[in-house]
Amino acid sequence: ALKTAYCALMRAPDEVARRELRSLVARAAGAAVAATPHEGGGPAGKAVQLALRLHAQFGEDVGVWSAFFLNYVQMGPGECLYMPANTPHAYLSGDIVECMACSDNVVRGGLTPKFKDLDVLCEMLSYKGSGPPAIEPLELDQGARLYGHRDLDEFQVLHARIGGGSRRTQSFSDQGPSLGFVWQGSGSVDIGGGTIRLAPRGVF
Which residue from 137, 127, 136 is spatially nearest to 84, judged by alpha carbons?
127
- For the chain, how big is the Rg over CA atoms in Å? 21
Q: CB neighbours (10 Å) of residue 67?
A: 22
56 phi and psi angles, rounded to 5 deg: -65, -30
Which residue from 64, 76, 70 is spatially nearest to 28, judged by alpha carbons?
64
Rounded to whole angstroms, the Cα distance separating 148 from 159 reads 11
Rounded to 5°, angle at Cα 71 from 17 and 76: 130
Catalytic site residues? 108
Rounded to whole angstroms, the Cα distance separating 201 from 85 reads 29
Which residue from 14, 2, 13, 10 is spatially nearest to 108, judged by alpha carbons?
10
Rounded to whole angstroms, the Cα distance separating 122 from 6 reads 8
